[in-house]
Structures are given as C-alpha cells and as structure tokens.
Amino acid sequence: MSDPAAVQTTLPSEQPALPPAPEVATPSKPAAEASNEAPREVPAPEIKETPKAAEETSATDTAPQSDMLATKATPAEGEKKEPTVTSTPVTTAADAKVPDDDKEPQNTLTERFTRAEWDVLKKFRAELPEIFAEAYTDKSDAKTAPITFWGVPIDPQNPKADARVSVILMKFLRARSLNPTAAREMLVNTLRWRESFNVDAVMKEEFPEDVFGNMGKIYGLDKEKRPVVYNLYGGNSDLKAVFSDVQRFIRWRVALQERSILLLDFNEVDQMIQIHDYAGVSMSSRDANSKAAASEASNIFSSHYPETLYRKFFVNVPTLLSWIFWAFKAIIPSATMAKMSMVGSGDNALRKALLPYVDTKQLPRRYGGDAEAF
C-alpha cells in the first residue's frame, strides 16, 4: 500500500521521532536506513539580522500557497479576508534575549526574539487556558488538558517549559503584527478548524497512488536544514483526476502540509521551502474544480499555517501564466514578493534560482542538481 498521503519523502538527516512523519534518508541512502538518533544539542545561537517587519496580505503564510497559480487580481484566489502579516523583525544583540528577571528554557529560535516580542508573547502565553477553553467549548478540562500541535506537546498550564511552544505561538503573533487580540482569534480558529477537519484522521487516510503518487514530494534540505517540498502539477499527473473530487484533494494537500510540518523541529528550523513545478500545465487544465481547490487550499494555509514558508519558487511556468503573475506584481505586497520567485525552464535558469538555497547534492537532477530523486 502506498504512503497514506501518497507522498514520497526523502531527507538527508535524521527525522523527528513524531509519527506519522515520513522516513528520512540521504539522497544516496534508503529511507529504511534512516537514523533514529536523538536530536543533536542545539548550538549557541548566532544573532543575525533578519528582515524588518512589514505588513502584507497572506495567501499562504506570507506568500500565496495555493495549489495552482492564482490568475485573479488578488494575492490568492478566494481570499476571504486580508490579514496583515509581518516578516521576522530586526533582532540586535542588545534586545535578542529574555529579560533577566524571567529566565526560561531557550533554543536557537527563541534567542532571536526581540524584547518587544517577548513582552507580547508572555502575555499571550498566559492566555492559553482561556484560548483552549474558547476553542474547545465541549471539553470541560480544556483549560488544563495538554494537546499536540504540529507535533509539539502544549501544556496550557505550563507553556514556557518547552521553548518550541513559544516558537509556535510567535508565528501567530507575527502573522498578526504582534496584535495579541488578532493572534488569539487566529489561534482559536485554527484549533477549531483542526478539530472539525479531523487532521489526525486525514493523516491516516490512504490516497490513490495512481492519482496523487506523482503530485507531491518531500526531498532533501536547503542549506539551512529546512525541508524542501515539491508540488508537481505537470508531468505524469492527471490533473482531471486530481481535481475531480475537490475535498479529497484538500485532504491530500493538508496531509502533505502536515507531513512537511512534522519535519520542523522548532528548535533550529521552523520553516520550509516550496517548489511548485508547472511543467506540462496549460491554461486549459484550469477548470472550475482546480480553481475551487486552489481557492480553498489558499484560504486554509493563510488562516491556519502562519509563518511556515521561507521561500516559494514557481518553476517551468507557462508563458501566459508568467505574464499574469507579473501583471499582478504591483498589487502584491513587497514582503510577499520577496518570498516568491518566478523561474523559467532549463538547467541554467533553475540552477541560478535554486542553488543559492539548495546544495547541488540535495537538488534533484531535473532542477539542475546532482541528486537522483523522483
């Protein structure tokens, strides 16, 4: 039987021991030999300057994550609202630390929080019991019962005990410009959606290999150890079959997203790279079902997976779709555009765009690398 989400996952380093995350292997080593060693010790953080905060309209994280390139004059098809999203704010050596009066467990990512972010985060964290009670109205113990979110246990009574919880909560705060009221609403809605969508059951669902087997791949890491996720819309994929059942496609796409999330440790790595390949896709393949699926997927990712995307590359895009993309460039926020790259076809163009981020040994040959993959 194929992988439950019909996703081939191959990674060059150990994978977090969080079922049902896929096996991990190097490009030259089978997944079956993937190591289950304990996570390595987190090194002392190096304070780096990160982009200044900027408002943007998110279609998926801070860049559109729709499963087909949007063709309307909006950042993403079917966008129901326009939440403001900020990129990671500038962090300096002077403010990138927890105030001395409240020491707590740290990791590489929390060490980069600014003082302003810490101030908001601590207040936001203290609201977790009420947030859980608001999200899970049918559970009498919601204020005290731990949950697992993106593979990370969250205890509402003691959230600061695990630095990874702070990393996750900060994503919701940054996605709402450090506005705790807006971030609370986003988190409550996400918790409700995960329960109503039944994400755990979707992760166990088996999807037809002949329909989705060639649609999504997780392979390798970028130079900063982020997983690289490939969405393949052309080639051997039968798009009519893929989008014949919109809700089935949405479940499959969420499962792929969740499997990608489980490869983030939230200690050193909390984002992924996505490569959307449109080789062989024509405008005629954009039927009503595919547009509806793209719209719904974009709304889900923008609403419930904040700040999980580092970069997105659109490769082998048909000329007409490229023109549409650039025509709408003026209305897409600059911070969003900074995460998106429209790449042509051919080894030279692909290598020029991708090799600054992904080492040649990690990049499949079809994209100008040396790795033997899918």
Contact 275, 231 (CB under 8 A): yes
Q: Is residue 102 part of a domain?
A: no
Instruction: Provide the token pair at 258.
Output: 């969740």
Q: Is residue 46 part of a domain?
A: no
Q: Is residue 373 part of a domain?
A: no
Instruction: Answer with the one of 201, 232, 262 that is the final residue of a domain.
Output: 201
pLDDT at residue 15 is higher than 50: no
pLDDT at residue 343 is higher than 80: yes
363 — pLDDT class (breaks 50, 70, 90): very high
Going from the C-alpha of 249 to that of each of 50, 76, 291, 372, the distances in angstroms are 35, 18, 12, 28
Going from the C-alpha of 77 to that of each of 117, 122, 154, 240, 300, the distances in angstroms are 32, 35, 33, 19, 12
Q: Is residue 247 part of a domain?
A: yes
243 — pLDDT class (breaks 50, 70, 90): very high
286 — pLDDT class (breaks 50, 70, 90): confident
Both 123 and 156 in one domain: the answer is: yes
Question: Count of domains in the chain?
Answer: 2
Both 353 and 214 in one domain: the answer is: yes
Both 217 and 358 in one domain: the answer is: yes
Domain ranges, residue 133: 110-201
Both 193 and 227 in one domain: the answer is: no
Both 252 and 361 in one domain: the answer is: yes
The whole-angstrom separation of Cα 356 and Cα 261 is 23
pLDDT digits (tens, 9 = 90+) for 294-336: 999 989 999 999 999 999 999 998 876 676 666 666 666 676 7
Both 268 and 337 in one domain: the answer is: yes
The whole-angstrom separation of Cα 219 and Cα 25 is 9
Both 360 and 228 in one domain: the answer is: yes
**3 state DSSP class of 185:** helix
The whole-angstrom separation of Cα 63 and Cα 306 is 10
Q: For residue 99, what pLDDT is reported?
A: 53
Both 320 and 193 in one domain: the answer is: no
Q: What percent of the chain has pLDDT over 70?
A: 68
Average pLDDT over residues 115-129: 98
Q: Is residue 223 part of a domain?
A: yes
pLDDT at residue 212 is higher than 90: yes
The whole-angstrom separation of Cα 111 and Cα 45 is 7
Q: What percent of the chain has pLDDT over 90?
A: 57
Contact 218, 6 (CB under 8 A): no
Both 248 and 347 in one domain: the answer is: yes
Q: Is residue 266 part of a domain?
A: yes
Residue 13's CB: how many other CB atoms inside 10 A? 16
Average pLDDT, the chain: 79
Residue 71's CB: how many other CB atoms inside 10 A? 18
Instruction: Answer with the one of 177, 201, 225 that is the final residue of a domain.
Output: 201
Both 197 and 285 in one domain: the answer is: no
Residues whose CB falls within 8 Å of the CB of residue 187, separated by 6 or more in sequence, listed in order: 131, 135, 169, 172
Buried b (16+ CB within 10 A) or exposed e, 343-370: beeeeeebbebbbebbbeebbbebbbbe
Q: Is residue 145 part of a domain?
A: yes
Instruction: Answer with the one of 201, 218, 241 that is the final residue of a domain.
Output: 201
Q: For residue 346, what pLDDT is reported?
A: 86
pLDDT digits (tens, 9 = 90+) for 18-31: 334 444 344 444 33
Q: Is residue 80 part of a domain?
A: no
Both 225 and 197 in one domain: the answer is: no
**First-to-last CA distance in the chain?**
18
CATH of the domain at 329: 3.40.525.10
Both 129 and 179 in one domain: the answer is: yes
